[in-house]
Amino acid sequence: MSIPSDLKYTKDHEWLRVENGVATCGITAFAVQQLEEVIYVSFIADDDNVSSGDSVAEVESTKAVSEVYAPVSGEVVESNEGLEDDAELINADPYVAGWLFKILLEDEEELEGMMDAEAYSAHIAEEADQ
C-alpha cells in the first residue's frame, strides 16, 4: 500500500495536505482497507469552527460506522459533497477524489505533532502486529 510522502498523518488514520493555510483532510488507504468498503458519508455543516479531535464526518462501511475527527483546529470551509452521492470515491482514491473536508487552519503549530509518511508507515506496521 503506497503512502503519499507529501501528506501529514494522524494516529487515527486521517491525512492532511496543507496549501495556503487550508488543510484538505481525509482518511488513509489503510483506514479504508480496515473499513472494507465505504458506502456512505455524512458531514457536519460547513462554516463550523472545530477543535482538533472534534467529530467532523461519519463514514459508514459494510463493516461499521466510524467518526472522522478534525486533525487540526479551525473553520470547516468546504466538504466534499460529491461523496454524499458517490461514497465509493473514497475506496478508489482516498488521497485525491476521496478527500472529506477542508479546514482553514487556526494554528499551523498543530502540524508539528503530525506524522510524515515514514512515521505513519511504522505506525500502521505496529498496529498490524498487535
Q: Locate cell 498487535: which residue?
A: 130
Q: Locate cell 459508514: which residue?
A: 60
**Tens of pLDDT along 13-48?**
999 999 999 999 999 999 999 999 999 999 976 668
Q: How many CA atoms lie within 13 A of 114 on its CB side?
A: 26
**Tens of pLDDT along 48-89?**
899 999 999 999 998 899 999 999 999 999 999 899 899 999
Q: Read off the amino acid at residue 43.
A: F
Domain 8-129: CATH architecture, name and number where available: Beta Barrel (2.40)
CA 24 to chain centre: 8
Q: What is the DSSP letter of 122?
A: H
Q: How many CA atoms lie within 13 A of 110 on its CB side?
A: 21
pLDDT band at residue 97, thresholds of 50, 70 and 90?
Answer: very high
Q: Do 63 and 38 form a contact (C-beta atoms < 8 A)? A: no
Q: Do 90 and 26 form a contact (C-beta atoms < 8 A)? A: yes
Q: Which three cell numbers stand for residue 106?
A: 487556526
Report domain extents, the chain.
Answer: 8-129
